[in-house]
Amino acid sequence: MGTSSAAATASSAGSSPAADTLALAISPCPNDTFAFHALIHGLVPAAPAVSTTFADIDVLNARAAQGLDDLVKVSYAALPWLLDKYSLLRAGSALGRGCGPLVLTAGRTDLRGASVVIPGTRTTAYLLFRLWAEKLGVGSIEVLPFDQIMPAVRDGRFDAGLVIHESRFTYPSYGLTAVADLGDWWEGHTGLPIPLGGILGRRGLDPAALSELVRASVAAAFADRSASASFVIEHAQEMAPDVVNAHIELYVNDFSLDLGDEGMAAVGELLGRAVAAGLVPALPPGSLDTWPPRI
């Protein structure tokens, strides 16, 4: 893609902070900083300059609802509220197996009436939790930034916590136990990978061109893993190097290069089940239609 293809469209629509600049919003988590390092640092040939915002996933979902960015990482659970402003890109997604959210407690096994802290009401983790816990009769639900959830459960502020990302590697150090792995539950019921988060491109920009930029950035990350190491660590919130590497291995994979048929099927299955359960609005016909995959 030439420099002007996505960026010039954004500039003419008044949607970028400066001419030939794309506004990108992602999390500071290792999977995102690893995948987008090349694009952010001008290492993708012919790509426009990028202005980057780092934020927690709940904040990213809210930014997308306001249409603040040209490229934005969001929870797949939030898609029904965002597709009027954005298109789903085929590249940059976080899908996989063995990488689902966990339900943690400090020893409690019965969640009936339990107070539960979650990372956001429109996160994929919470959507999966609602599908899984439909008949459990859990109690109150409250939201905290995901990095505050385990300390809050450990300290007795909540009976259970719904955790994502690197928490699946570190929760034993907080004295917590996993009472459910929602990724295992999802895979057992559907046979599909779990669709956690995706990259959206602002409507009015060329989705194929944007997806190619993201795909090229992910490919560059795979080609030279050491290039992004210091950048990833800088944003990793004091995560241990082995946890950082495990995080990347779990969440950045072939689906990050292209969703493919299986990835699109997983997204459709998640949202279809959520619509059937009355948890999200119905999607307009064709709203998830996309262009042919590159690979």
Q: For the chain, where are the E strands, in sequence order?
A: 21-26, 49-54, 71-75, 86-88, 94-96, 102-105, 116-118, 141-143, 160-163, 177-181, 194-202
Q: Which residue out of 37, 41, 165, 247 is catalytically annotated?
A: 165
Instruction: Check the annotation: does 73 bind a ligand.
Output: yes
Contact 257, 215 (CB under 8 A): yes
Collapse the DSSP code of 88 into the 3-class scheme (helix H, G, I; strand E, B; otherwise coil) and give the result. Answer: strand
Find out whether 75 is annotated in a ligand binding site. yes
* Angle 207-8-292 from CA coordinates, rounded to 5°: 20
Residue with tokens 């990095």: 147
Active site residue 189: no
128, 133, 137, 143: which is closest to 274 by C-alpha? 128
Length of the chain in residues, anyone?
Answer: 295
Q: Tell me if 124 is assigned to a ligand binding site.
A: yes
Binding annotation for substrate: 73-75, 124-125
Active-site residue set = 165
